[in-house]
Amino acid sequence: MYLAHDTWIDKKVAIKVPHRQNLDFGELLKEPRLLASLNHPNVVSITTAEKQNDIFFIVMEYVPGATLEQIIETEGALELSRGLDYICQICNAVGHAHAQGVLHRDLRPGNVLVSKTGLLKVADFGTARFLEIAAHGSTVIGSPAYMAPEVFDGKVVFASDIYSLGCTMYQILTGSAPYTPPAPKELDKLMSGELVSAPRLKNPNIPTRISEIIMRAMAPNISERYKQADDVLNDLLNGRPENSVRRTHSNQTSNNEKPLSVSNHASDTPQQRFCWHCRKPLHAKTDRCPFCREMQ
């Protein structure tokens, strides 16, 4: 990836030069065409794709900031409200991609860019595919530490991205991946869920409900896993501490912790508002989102 300056529009851009330049031109165009089918504030946008002097490259928006992986490596587990904000933005990006029939297939913190304003952009759709194409493939693609069990057998569905999303959520709120990449002989443990412990056991500040959502997103059995990112997002918004009558203390055991519930006294505490489009938090009196500029 290279940082460049477009002199025609006087703007910094990012240029990606795929390593495999000897592919058929149609193959080279798959990633930019996938990106062109996506139009969302939480997805890196594409400007164009070109081939000059026998070198193919993709021109994309430049996002000043750091990757989510770099931030976690530096800061460790993120504070709960910030972490949930980031997770909601990733859910928005994944949900939008899936609505267009696109699977990312390599969702992980290293492929999420965090701008200086706190806006997240899911990037690196180099391994992404439309569902109908990916479903008939047999090549195992992805990062082992974030791959759903079925992907090791060459099967990929929308829920496979949800598993990777769960691993990413886990790392955001605990500061570490849920497990080290399994060796071939350990795949049966991955299939049974033995390698994963509840994130709340690593970080007791994570509410029980949020921990349960992450574990469901990482369910080894597809039938027990969330099918859509929107379902994850809705459960997160309903289970976030801001919706509870009272916050439980982090030193309480899970047996004593009461489930999070929506307050019946909305006038007592102002409810946090979120943009309907990008899910970023809003000020109480604003009528336009400062991040995606959508009217509320």
Model confidence at 156: pLDDT above 90? no
Domains 11-61 and 65-243 share a fold: no
pLDDT bucket at 193, cuts 50 / 70 / 90: confident
Q: How many CA atoms lie within 13 A of 210 on its CB side?
A: 27
- Assigned architecture for domain 65-243: Orthogonal Bundle (1.10)
What confidence tens digit (pLDDT) does each residue in 198-256 have? 999 999 999 999 999 999 999 999 999 999 999 999 999 888 775 433 333 333 344 44
DSSP secondary-structure letter at 205?
Answer: T
Name the one residue in this structure whose structure tokens are 């896993």: 225
In sequence order, the 6+-apart residues with CB closer than 8 A to the CB of 264 are 245
Range with lowest mean pLDDT among 64-73, 163-172, 188-197, 280-289:
280-289
pLDDT for the residue numbered 295: 73
Range with lowest mean pLDDT among 1-15, 46-60, 253-267:
253-267
Name the one residue in this structure whose structure tokens are 């939008």: 96
Q: How far is CA 267 from CA 51, 52, 81, 90, 245, in A?
A: 59, 62, 22, 31, 12
pLDDT for the residue numbered 49: 86
Contact present, 77 and 132 (Cβ < 8 Å): no
Q: Could you confirm whether 24 is annotated as catalytic?
A: no
Looking at every residue in the chain, the average pLDDT score rounds to 81
Burial class (CB in 10 A: 0-12, 13-18, 19+), 243: middle
Give me the residue spans of the domains in the chain: 11-61, 65-243
pLDDT for the residue numbered 138: 42
CATH pick for 11-61 out of 3.30.70.270, 3.30.210.10, 3.30.200.20, 3.40.309.10: 3.30.200.20
Contact present, 224 and 212 (Cβ < 8 Å): no
What confidence tens digit (pLDDT) does each residue in 254-275 have? 444 433 333 333 334 445 567 7
pLDDT for the residue numbered 54: 85
Q: Looking at 85, 106, 124, 161, which residue is catalytic?
A: 106
| CA pair distance 250, 204, nearest whole angstrom | 6
And the tokens for 100? 């267009």
pLDDT for the residue numbered 167: 97
